[in-house]
Amino acid sequence: MKDSIVEKTKERWHRKRMHGQLPHNLDEKLIDIEQSYHWLKSGDIKGETEGTIVAAQDQAVSTNYFKNKILKEEIENKCRLCKHLEETIDHLTSGCPILVKNKYLMRHDKVCTHLHYSLCKALGIETTDKWYTHSV
What is the binding site for Zn ion (CB under 5 A)? 79, 81-82, 96
Task: Please classify residue 123 by burial: count the beta carbons closer than 10 Å to its beta carbon, then call 0-12 exposed, 13-18 middle and 19+ buried.
Answer: exposed
C-alpha 14/C-alpha 115 separation (Å) is 33
Q: Could you tell me the smallest distance in angstroms from the CB atom of residue 55 to Zn ion? A: 20
Q: Which CB sits closer to Zn ion, 22 or 96?
A: 96
Least distance from Zn ion to the Cβ atom of residue 68, Å: 15
In angstroms, the first-to-last Cα distance of the chain is 50
Smallest separation (angstroms) from Zn ion to the CB of 93: 11
Nearest to 80 by CA among 103, 62, 54: 62
Closest to Zn ion by CB, 102 vs 135, is 102
CB nearer to Zn ion: give 55 or 81.
81
The residue among 22 and 79 lying less far from Zn ion, judged by its C-beta, is 79
Q: Are 51 and 19 in contact (CB under 8 A)?
A: no
Give the shortest CB-82-to-Zn ion separation in angstroms.
Answer: 3
